């Protein structure tokens, strides 16, 4: 697209956003053109909390389906729409509510903790929700339980288990994007940038997490980059975050650990689709009330801990 076309589109989005009383939220992994028109950027929970606080009537959620669902769970009176309703999270899709029910039946004494990357139906079956920012804190708070189910990401489970010293009953889920980052990628980038700090997401392969200076969620990466004395960073997560890190820290350099770490679902949303969504107020994501109430319990319990 030409620059002029982009400005025209951005202008139209801005105008229509006001008319519709809408706010645009973009996940840290979204395309630069989407981040550019967003009112707020953040990780899934940060965005859902913003959605709950805003006075706007319409939330345009640029991310994947479970994130829009989480926003709807926390703000049922608002209209949550996704510019691309097909954008899902393969990891979230690796665990169904029935899978979890079965796992709970096999371990009747266990307390169940689930990553935010799960469907609303799965959250409704969970005792606690967690994010990559607070997973360690949530598991540490469950000392009174002998057994802990931790789903769906086996790599996040491994990370949390190592940090808490707790044995976890995990699931076979994983993020197809983060596992593309390989130990040899980290070794190569370290050779190119010997002074750089390595920060990776705990969804990465355990071997990759073990090689990093820090394993952090995307919101924690933003903080770490700002507060660290280092001037260069090797970033082991979805490449979309590099755009934001560079904007927020213009005097620092950020190198993707692997250019292959692209989440195709996160890249489906475009400015054009945002405009269409605002025009038609579609596609709406709404969680049925019975599921919403039970799913919210798991989120509230997490918020009580952190």
Residues that bind ligand CIZ (CB under 6 A): 27-28, 43-44, 116-117, 131-132, 201, 217-219
44 or 265: whose CB is closer to ligand CIZ? 44
CB of 158 to ligand SF4, least distance (A): 15
Q: Structure tokens of 130?
A: 């967690």
Kindly tell me which of 76 and 90 has the beta carbon lying closer to ligand SF4: 90
Please, which residue, 188 or 267, has the CB nearer to ligand SF4? 267
Residue whose C-alpha is closest to residue 78's, from 37, 115, 49? 49
Element (H, E) at 289: helix 289-305
CB of 117 to ligand SF4, least distance (A): 5
Residue with Cβ nearer ligand SF4 (13 or 71): 71
Contacts 24+ apart (CB under 8 A), 157-161: 158/206, 158/209, 159/135, 159/202, 159/206, 159/209, 159/215, 160/135, 160/136, 160/202
- DSSP character at residue 240: T
Query: Is residue 112 at the binding interface for ligand SF4, with CB under 6 A as the rule?
Result: no
Nearest to 126 by CA among 113, 117, 144: 113
DSSP annotation of 234: E
Least distance in angstroms from the C-beta of 170 to ligand CIZ: 17
In the complex with ligand CIZ, the residue whose CB is nearer, 94 or 110, is 94
Q: Residue 44's binding partner, choosing from ligand CIZ, ligand SF4, none, with beta-carbon cut-off 5 to 8 A by kind?
A: ligand CIZ
Burial classification of residue 149, based on how many CB atoms lie within 10 Å of its CB (0-12 exposed, 13-18 middle, 19 or more buried): buried
**What is the contact surface with ligand SF4 in residues (CB under 6 A)?**
64, 89-91, 117, 175-178, 203, 238, 263, 265-266
């Amino acid at each position: 697209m030409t620059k002029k076309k982009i400005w025209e589109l951005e202008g139209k989005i801005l105008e229509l956003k006001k008319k519709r009383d809408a706010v645009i939220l973009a996940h840290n992994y979204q395309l630069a053109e989407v981040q550019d028109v967003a009112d707020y950027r953040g990780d899934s929970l940060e965005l859902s909390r913003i959605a709950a606080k805003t006075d706007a009537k319409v939330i345009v959620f640029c991310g994947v389906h479970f994130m829009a669902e989480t926003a709807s769970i926390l703000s049922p009176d608002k209209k949550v729409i996704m510019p691309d309703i097909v954008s899902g999270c393969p990891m979230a899709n690796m665990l169904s509510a029935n899978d979890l029910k079965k796992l709970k039946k096999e371990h009747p004494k266990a307390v169940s903790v689930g990553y935010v990357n799960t469907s609303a139906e799965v959250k409704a079956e969970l005792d606690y929700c967690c994010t990559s920012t607070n997973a360690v804190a949530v598991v540490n708070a469950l000392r009174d339980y002998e057994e802990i189910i931790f789903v769906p990401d086996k790599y996040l489970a491994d990370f949390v288990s190592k940090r808490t010293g707790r044995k976890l009953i995990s699931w076979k889920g994983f993020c197809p994007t983060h596992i593309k980052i390989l130990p040899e990628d980290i070794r190569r980038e370290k050779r190119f940038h010997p002074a750089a700090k390595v920060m990776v997401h705990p969804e990465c392969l355990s071997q990759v997490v073990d090689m990093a200076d820090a394993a952090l969620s995307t919101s924690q990466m933003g903080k770490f980059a700002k507060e660290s004395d280092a001037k260069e960073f090797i970033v082991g997560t979805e490449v979309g975050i590099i755009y934001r890190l560079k904007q927020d820290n213009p005097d620092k350099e950020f190198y993707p650990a692997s250019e292959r770490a692209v989440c195709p679902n996160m890249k489906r949303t475009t400015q054009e689709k945002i405009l269409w969504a605002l025009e038609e107020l579609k596609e709406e994501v709404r969680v049925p009330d019975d599921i919403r109430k039970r799913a919210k319990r798991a989120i509230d319990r997490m918020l009580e801990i952190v």
